[in-house]
Structure 1
Amino acid sequence: MNYKDLINEVTRLLDEFQEDKQCIDNFTQDAAKDLKNFSSADQKFIIDTLYGCITRKKLLDVVVNIFYIHHEKYLFRVDRNLFIVVCYLAMFHLDVLGLEHFSRIIKSLDISKMHKFLSFFFNVSNLTTHIQREWSHIYDAAVVDNNWITPLLRWCSEIEALLDQLAKKMGRGCLPKKSPRKNTEPREFDLTQPKARPLPAPEVIPQQESQVKFKQASIKINTCNNGVPVTTHRSPKESEILDEMRLRNRQEALKVLNEANSQQFRCANPQKSEKTQNVISQILQSRDAELKFDQLYTSGSPASQKTNSLPVRLNTTAILREGALYNRQLEEALQRFERLSQGASEPSAFLQWQKEMKEKDLQEELAELERRRLEGRISHEEAVLARERVLERNHHKAQQTKEETAQLMRKYAEKRMKEEKEMRELVQQVADGHKNSKAAKDKLQEIKQRIVKEVSEQSRELLSQALEEAQAELSRKMELIRQIRAFESVSLIRQNFVDDTETAGHDLLCEMSVAELRERLALLRETEQCELEDRRQHIFQEKQLKEQLLLEQLDNIALRRSLAEHAASRSQEEKRMRGELREAVRRDERVLALQKTLEQKQQERQKKKTEKNSMKKNEQVLPLTVKTSLNKKVRRD
């Protein structure tokens, strides 16, 4: 027989076997009776393979479950027993069958499925990780390694040749092996030294008018006088004047150059007008006046106390937290001074340049944001205009539909009038036919009354029976209460002769008399009192130390806050400079142009709105006339 038929027969028998209902031996005997069409060798192969797959089911299920997890998208549950049979043959019969017969069995089955399963099962990484770990949970690790993992690893090289043959049959050629992943090697970050900013070239010094006049005068004297000029025997004063002017101009140019280097981007921060400055000063004065609301009612405090006092009352946690922060800042400043004393460089020049570059970037960013905002508003206005145009078209269509519906309503009113006339005639006919139904109603009323009487009699009997049962239960309870009260009324003779020094006599190890218990409780109270006094003393000492620490921290906080106020004033000045930057951005030409276009779009939209309102007023008059005409026609009909 063909190998494919044998494997299909084994998988069919595995599908029929039910582990919880059938015995393996009985099932194999019944299966052998049905295999009369096969030869004895084929029958032996089928029975042995079936018996092995059932007995080794745990090991085989581990492999097939992991295989389905990895290839769940491309597999069906129907082929599960097929993979179990192939796995059993590869694990327990590969040495007996040999590679030649095993390859024939594999080639007789579906090539793509067998290629996927064998490439997964004979992969070294899968065998030594997932499969070996799961098998070690069932059997001992040494048994798994010696009996199954090592033999399968020996066959991996020969199975690869079989996989190449299967790949060629599928028309894909040999599958490329996965190259190992290359880990990225980190490189050090190289910081290049920033180039120094070149100094701007000074402006060209214009030629002075006195020098030109002197040249013209000398030419006139030489041309007019035929003899020797007077200036030949004495040095001219103009050269000295020119030297002084050159020196003065040179000094002014250097001064301007130094100011340009020290105060860059000054052109982007124009000074505010006098009106703006007056408004700002008025706002600041009003705020100061609001803050000085209780100045009339306070006599003031000495200067020494004001420096050490805090403006806000802090709790203990806030004082300790702020003190720790200032101590950490002080340590960082001391470390910085130590680094500077050891020769480290101060990055103040670079920070100044960085600050200037940030201001420049901020100015550009603000201008870009303003432009985007205006462009967005322009697009919004355009969208509103387009929407209004669409609404006008829809309104025109709605007017047409209203006219059509008005005509349909007229027709519908006429139709309804005809139907109402027909209905009146039908109602009149039905009323004439129902005059003889009064006798039937009387009979029905009599039947209903008889049924009600029967139901009331039955309910009366049930109620009387329930009342008798309730009375019997109540009498039984009253009898029980009477007996209990009789037992309680009997007096008991009680004699109490108690000795405090004697024990109760229960023969317990921890048993003690009342007197001993009282003495022990008194000693326990004394010890608790001593412990309480010690604890109070310890708490008082800790409280004193804590108060001293808080006072020191408050002095430190007051000092630091005075320094922080100076820093805040400097930051306020920087904010003022940024405000001037924003004013410069608002005066940008592109921003002004976008502002103009936005105003034009808004005016256009306002004009459309006014036209639309006028059209609505005209439209409100027309429906009233149409309704009145319709009502008149209906009344006439």
Structure 2
Amino acid sequence: MAYYGKCIETVIEQLDQLKPGDSPEQVLEAASASLQTLSSQKQAFILEVLSGCLEYHRLLTTVVDAFYVRDGRLCLWADYNLFKVICYLATFQLGELGFQLFCDIVKSQPLDKMCKFLRFFFSPLNLSSWVKDEWSLVYEAAYVKENWIAPLMRWQPEVQELIKQLEAVLANQSPLLKTKAKVTEPKEFNLTTPRSRAIPMPEPVPAVAKPRPVPRSTYQQPKEQHLLDKTKRHNRRRAEELLLRANVEEMQCAVPRSRREPPTQGSKKNLQLRFMPRILKTPKLTFYRPNNIPVKLNTAAILREGALYQRQVERELQRVDRLVDGAGDFSEFLEWQKKMQARDREEQLAAGECRRLLGKLSHEEAALARQHLVRGNKQKADQKKEEMTELMQQCAERRLQEERSMRELVEQVTEAQKNVKVAQTRLLKGRQQIVQEVIEESRELLQRSAEAAKEEQRRRCELISQLRALETQPMRKGKLVDLTQIPGYGLEGEMSVVELRERLALLKDAQRRAEEDKRDQIIQDKRSKSQELQNVVEQISLCRAAMGRSAALRWEEKKAGAAAPGLRSQDERVLALQRRIEETAAERRRQAPLLQVSAPRTPRAPRAQPRAQLEAQHWLELEQSRERSLHARHRRGSACGRARDLEAA
């Protein structure tokens, strides 16, 4: 009894530690980790009961809550998980454990509490009424009645006798009587002779045509893809070389002209190694231009392009019809549009110039503010140094105090280690006694399991001998079947097997003829469709040639219009910003010598003048590059406007 009492106590402790947010998997993992010191049998029993209580939590809490409301008003709430475990064992594990083992578990707990709970739970009125109804709300009613309520009702006599024994022990009456184990009564198998089935005639195996092998082109890429990949690789190498050259030229432009020297071979190499990005280079680059590779179009692409050209032709015909009918010309509108576009481009250039000058002005103002900030930072640095000296003194005093406290702590730890050894010896003796008790209990369980296995083996041998005796009995042979005979069940359209096969053969011939007719129709449709696509392709080729010629003419006109340079317009905002920038730069130059004189200790003061020269040179070059880009944009805008005018004309 002590063995089962300890196991039940362990399960109750695990359930008491359960929190509302914990998942069953986490609880079982924590329990298995804390039960490593116990034997394998104890671990298996505790984990099985714990997992069952977590799985059927809703069913068990329904019964225990009702017990506290009706018969258990005087019971403590600390015993809630105890009643929950007993309810789980009685409902789900009574058949597997056996009644004698269940009695031992019940007797290992307080008898008065067990007597009250068993009398309440195993009451036939409660099981057949509200317990069945409450459990049916969670699971199906038929499943609850067949698997849980019916077994509990069958165990009623034994449980009532156990309750009487517990009451007698509580009343100091006669000692407990051993209950007889329920003997399993074997029943004969209700076997019926199967009905003989008719053996169908084997159908001829159809000859399947040999499939065609998979073409090799399925697993190979087309030639066009190889050519495109080769072109991509060569173009990438060319782009890397151009990027390298652009980076080197940009870094050379960033160096002031006063410091530039005639580049020698060694200086060029050092400059390239310093500023070039890490790009893999090849000693010799060869560029290949792709040939005119014909692109194979599918049906959708051909029809889409043909419809596009057809819509363009219809649109052009409608425009000609409107002109013939006397529609107006768009020359005045195009002139007005050209003027407005030129004005918009000038405004855009002026706005871009204003943004650039605003950036330069903000840079000058930031440099001036930086000079003021340096003065303030120097004063703050002196104050911080004084504060740091005071903090260093305080840290030294604090370290001395910590060393004293650490020495006292070391002395206390050495004394505590001496007491730990005595406690370890006591704990070792207690564990040895527990191990001996567990070994004895495991021997008893092994003996019981061996006896039960022998009984099960004997019962199986008897069943096998009975089955073999039934198999040796003679069986009746099936009767012959006439395939030309009608069964005569009185069904509509009833026929013999031979007639059915003939009708199926005729139906297959009709289906084959229909498939051949449909196949011929599909071939004719494909031919007509291919002829239509060929006509559309010829029309597309003619339209492409015409579009190519018109595009070449537009390109020549665009190149001729791009030769005339555009003029840059000045704006009042731009002039005002330039004046402000000059004033701010002059003020910054006036204050720079004052900052050098006021801070002679800073090592960076002698380098202030060269740095200012570099910044001025940098902004000058940036302004020149900005003007060149604006000129280029103006030229491109004027050329694009002329091209759009020509297209509209």
* Range of TM-score over shorter length: 0.3 to 0.5
- Please tell me whether Structure 1 or Structure 2 has the larger radius of gyration of its CA atoms: 1
TM-score, scaled relative to structure 2: 0.38
- Give the TM-score, by structure 1 length: 0.39
